[in-house]
Structure formats: structure tokens, C-alpha cells
Amino acid sequence: MIESPEIRGFFDDQTNTITYLVWDAATRAAAVVDPVLDYDPADGTVDTRSAGKVLVAVEELGLSVVYVLETHAHADHLSAAPLIKAKTGARIGIGVRIRDVQKVFRPMFCADDLKVDGSDFDLLVSDGDRLPLGDLEIEVMETPGHTAADVSYRVGDAVFVGDTLFMPDYGTARTDFPGGDARQLYRSIHKLLSLPPETRLFMCHDYKAPGRDEYRWETTVEQERRNVHLAGATEDQFVAMREARDATLSTPKLLLPSIQVNIRAGRLPPAEENGVSYLRIPVRFKEAARPG
């Protein structure tokens, strides 16, 4: 019999992100998946209210957090992984291919402090790796496509799929970021959909599909097999649909700050002499706007 972990989701309405607290009921060992650091781009301030709610629950439930797990380097919110680590002693983990993502973005942001060996993270995980969580195990499933480094985490009958999938009535993840690939995404999705039909799937985001009045972030493999982007679609049909759809999407509002922080495992760039950390905004002239 496949065991069921205890799971609590925390929805952040500023970024439509769900942070998960998952634990083994017998031993109280826990992991936090995709924690959010509150960031206001209007004035450059950060706050910890979202992560604070998770930490309050950890204390109330008497849990011991041993991992903070990132499904990928998010482009739509900053990670609160360092805060969770500081408060609990947990180790921060991400897929080993984060190195490829770091190599792409380090020169883009002139991030000279950043090593591209993944060493900002405590754990670099690969497909098939298993991490103990009390009497349970976390199985790592590489699910690239949205980015090159996406992984999903399977714990008993539950899988945290990151941005690979959305709810069945909403669709699938974009693949137009550097390293993204619609064909890889299709294959990663079908890797997930090959799991037993009753397997619970937990989304990283929800945006309410048209006609739906409430946010939802838990579904099953059986339900996802009828996803609006997948039902009856061949691989080539899916790739054509996904690439055409991606061409119409706008850039995420927090893309530039999120990537700079998240490839550093949630660490802000080193502070300058005045004690302030600065995030960089690359500026590129379109040909018609170029001076001179």
C-alpha cells in the first residue's frame, strides 16, 4: 500500500503561487516545497509574511523541517528558502541541471559573485534520487520542458509537479524561457501521467480557469489525463499548440528579480558599501530607439 503524506498548501495571491508543507505523520519530519518571499517591485522591499505562515504551522504541528525543495528556478516569485533554512536548519535542494540555468543567466546579469556549479544550494538532485523523510521517501523525477532544470517530487501517493502542469481545466506550462522545450515538456508530462491514476498531483500555481470561481491546486493523474492541452493531442500537435500559445504570452512581472535571486538559492546579490543589495535590469535598445 502506498503511503499518504500529510500536506498543507499556502496560497500567495500576489503571485498565485502555492507553497507546500509536507510531512510524515509518524515522525513529524517535514519538507517545504517552493516557498515564497514577498517582494514589492514598486519600492524594492521584501517581507516574510508568506513564509512566516508556513513557519507558524511548522511550530503548531510540532514538525522538524529537513528540506526546502525547489521544483525549479522560478520566474514569477522570489524564493524564501534561506529564511526557512535559517529558522529550521533545513537543507535547500534543487535539480542538478540548475547549473545549466546558472550558466545562461550569470552573464545576462553580470552576476560575478555567482558560481555556476550549483554550490549555492545544499543538495543537487537527479532523476531517481531518493531522500528520506522520516518513514517516507521523496523520489526525484526530472521533468524538464518549462525550464531545463525542472524536477517533480514524489512522496508516497503525492507528487509536487512545479510548473509542469496546471489544473486540468487550465492547461500546461509555457516553454519559451531559455532552456525551455515544448517537446521535452510533452514527454515530462506523460512521464507523470504514467503514474497510477489515483496519484495526487499538486500544482505550483493556479490562475482560475475561465468559468471557475475558486482557486484549486490539487488534482489526480486520472483527471490530468483530460487536461485541456493534452486530451487526444499527439506530440507534434501539442508542440505546435504550445509554441503558438507561448508566442502570445507576456513576460512575467517579476522575471528579472526572481531569476537573479532564485539561481542563488534565494540569496540576494552581495550588499554594496552602503549595506543595500541591488538587482540589475538589463537594458537593450531596439534598433529604432538606439541613440546616435
pLDDT at residue number 292: 62
Domain 6-268 of CATH type 3.60.15.10: yes
pLDDT at residue number 286: 80
Residue pLDDT, tens place only, 125-172: 999 999 999 999 999 999 999 999 999 999 999 999 999 999 999 999
Q: From CA 236, how far away is CA 240, in angstroms rounded?
A: 6
- For residues 224-247, one letter each, b for 16 or more C-beta atoms within 10 angstroms of the residue's C-beta and e for the rest, the string is beebebbeebeeeebbebbeebee
pLDDT at residue number 3: 87
Q: From CA 143, how far away is CA 162, in angstroms rounded?
A: 9
Please classify residue 196 by burial: count the beta carbons closer than 10 Å to its beta carbon, then call 0-12 exposed, 13-18 middle and 19+ buried.
exposed
Q: Confirm if 192 and 141 have CB atoms less than 8 A apart.
A: yes
pLDDT at residue number 289: 66
pLDDT at residue number 219: 98
- Which residue stretches of the chain have pLDDT < 70? 1, 288-292
For the chain, domain boundaries? 6-268
Closest CA to 55 of 88, 7, 94: 88
Q: CA-CA distances (angstroms) from residue 6 to 81, 217, 269?
A: 20, 15, 35
> Which residues are CB-contacts of 34 (< 8 A; sequence separation ≥ 6)?
17, 18, 19, 20, 69, 70, 71, 74, 79, 160, 162, 204
